[in-house]
Amino acid sequence: MSLVEPAQLLPARQQMAFTLMFHIILVPLGVALPTMMLIANYKGLRHCDSVALTLARRWSHVAGLTFAVGAASGTVLSFEMGLLWPGLTGRFGEVFGLPFAIEGVAFFLEAILVAVYIYGWRRMRPWTHFWLGVPIPFIAFGGAFSIISANAWMNMPAGFTLDSAGRPVDIDPAAAILNKALPYELAHFMLAAYMACGFTVASVYAVGWLRGRRDRYHRLGILIPFTIAAVLTPVQFVVGDRVAVAIFSDQPAKFAAMEVVTTSGSNQPEIIFGRYDSATNTVTGGIRIPGLDSWLAGGSTDTYVKGLDSFPAADRPPNVNIVHWAFDIMVGIGTLLIGLALWFAIAYWRRRDVPRSRLFLWCAAAAGFLTYVALEAGWIVTEVGRQPWVVYNILRTEDAVTPAEGVWVSFIAVIVLYLVLGAGTVAALRAMSRRWRRSDRTVDADAVYGPRPAVVPEAGSGDAPAGESEVTR
């Protein structure tokens, strides 16, 4: 490591982290919400269930808004790949750029079909409308596949060799796309996205239920998304364990930071929280469970685990505490969610209904937020844990950063604008919810599928502010 790190490195990393963490909030809603809205749509059409149809319509409306915001923040990310990291995209773009091109097309298709679905309510025949929506979750999966493939490549670079000048040669795009980290990162992320979306959507209706709005609308609003998330939670537990084992062998430095393994050896204790001191390479505080870390990594307490001491200081993750705490927070929340899923399963098995206890509903209301915390923590583990490398063992982050002046300025501008964007999005979502609640008090006279209303109101004619109970022409 050079003694003087580039001046733009810190703001560039901060800006990338900030915009990524913002974007990740929207991703589960783009990936998983379409599935839930289609399930509700199907249920509604199949059983002539107007409550389910109302849910589907409203979820599609939310998905449309978050998709629009996600499109903008995704565009910013693609700009940033070049603006902040020209050393990465300029040099390795030809190796790992293709998944982004795939994602570009997937995103395009999703944008088109989401637009058709959202603006097609009432105007198309019901089943045509439903079937036009069906490809959306699959396309969204394709998009997630591509982006995760690119990220996994940064963790487990493949599909090229470096020549003596450090340029990539013998490029094999297929090997780069289907790199070693892809299967476990993708499985882990897709499950996380469905869990985050499911628990979050359910939490909205759990809050409504706690406030006394106990009707079928709220019951279904909890039941559909919560069931999906609860079923996936134990699966995620197993997958997460496999991911940790894979990282143990693929990225030992990251594993050592996640579990704060200071000194190499067998019979490593699992340390929960605690404070790592990089000067002395020791951990103070925290709860120690003897031998558990070795056992988790290799199935036996005799497993030899590489510690941070086995890496040169320049190759150790610089923020071990952040990585370790993020990892423990993620695992901790995952464990709590398992308990909640179990509670739900038992209650549903006994009474075929959402548990009525207020404690459960309070937990369900918190689960959405907690899952998001876990999701963000997981990204922190994978991104901060890979440092000081942007491409693991190939390219250091400091060598990829832009030499351009002014990243601090752009970072501040980005923070301000994203606050406006975030506030606007939240305000819009709250406005929707208020409006829908108001309309639920009046009788909803609209047929879900019906004749078309006029688009441009003519002055003085048909200008009635009808909205929810609009009488169609």
Partner 1 sequence: MSTATAVAGVMVIAITLYACSGLADYGAGLWDLTAGGRERGRRPRALIDAAITPVWEANHVWLIYLIILCWTAFGAAFAPIMTTLFIPLALAALGIVLRAAGFAMRKEAARARARHLAGWLFGIGSILTPFCLGAVLGAIMAGRVPAGATGDEISSWWNATSIVFGLVAVSIGAFAAAVYLIAESRRRGAPHLHGYFRTRAFVSGGAALVLGVAGLIALRADQRQMFDRVVERGWPLLLLSAVALAGAFLLAARGMVRGLRLVAAAGIAALIWAWAVAQYPYLLPFSLTVDAGAAAGVTLDWILVWFAVALLLVIPALALLYVLDQKGDLAEDPATSLPSHDEATG
Site for partner 1 in 31-70 (CB under 8 A): 57-58, 60-61, 65, 67-69
Q: x-or-dash pattern for partner 1, window 185-224, by CB under 8 A?
A: ----------------------------------------
Query: What part of residues 258-317 is at the interface with partner 1 (CB under 8 A)?
Result: none
Candidates 333, 403, 343; CA nearest to 371 is 333
User: Considering only residues 1, 7, 46, 75, which one is a binding residue for partner 1 as defined by CB under 8 A?
Assistant: 75
The strand ranges marked E within 291-342 are none
Q: Could you tell me the two tokens for 454? A: 């006029």
Does residue 100 bind partner 1 (CB under 8 A)?
Answer: yes
Asked if 467 interacts with partner 1 (CB under 8 A), we say yes
Query: Rule CB under 8 A: which of 390-419 touch partner 1?
Result: 402-406, 410, 413-414, 417-418
455 binds partner 1 (CB under 8 A): yes
Contact status: 122 vs partner 1 (CB under 8 A) = yes
Residue 245 interacting with partner 1 (CB under 8 A): no
Is residue 105 a contact residue for partner 1 (CB under 8 A)?
yes
Q: With b meaning 16 or more CB within 10 Å and e meaning fewer, what string describes 105-135?
A: ebbebbeebbeebbebbbebeeeebbeebee
> Which among 6, 1, 5 is positioned nearest to 314, based on CA atoms?
1
Q: How far apart are CA 361 and CA 353, in angstroms?
A: 13
Residues in contact with partner 1, shown as a per-residue x/- string from 162 to 191 under the rule CB under 8 A: ------xx-xxx------------------
The yes or no reply on residue 121 touching partner 1 (CB under 8 A) is yes
**Any contact of residue 255 with partner 1 (CB under 8 A)?**
no
Candidates 28, 74, 307, 385: give the one binding partner 1 (CB under 8 A).
74
3-class secondary structure, 287:
strand
Considering beta carbons, is residue 58 or 180 the nearer one to partner 1?
58
Q: Which C-beta is closer to partner 1: that of 358 or that of 435?
A: 435
Which residue from 81, 79, 80, 36 is spatially nearest to 57, judged by alpha carbons?
36
Of 27, 38, 118, 337, the residue at the interface with partner 1 (CB under 8 A) is 118
| 441 counts as binding partner 1 under rule CB under 8 A | no
The yes or no reply on residue 80 touching partner 1 (CB under 8 A) is yes
Which one, of 390, 387, 397, lies nearest residue 315 by Cα? 387
Q: Is residue 363 at the binding interface for partner 1, with CB under 8 A as the rule?
A: no
The Cα–Cα gap between 430 and 407 comes to 34
State in angstroms the smallest separation of the CB of 151 from partner 1: 15
Characterize the bridge pairing of strands 282-284 and 275-277. antiparallel
Angle at 107 between CA 102 and CA 112, to 5 degrees: 130
As given in the structure block, the two tokens for residue 177 are 């796309």
Distances (CA, A) of 249 to 260, 310, 386: 16, 14, 14
- Cβ nearer to partner 1, comparing 238 with 404: 404
Q: How near is the Cβ of 24 to partner 1 at its closest, in Å?
A: 16
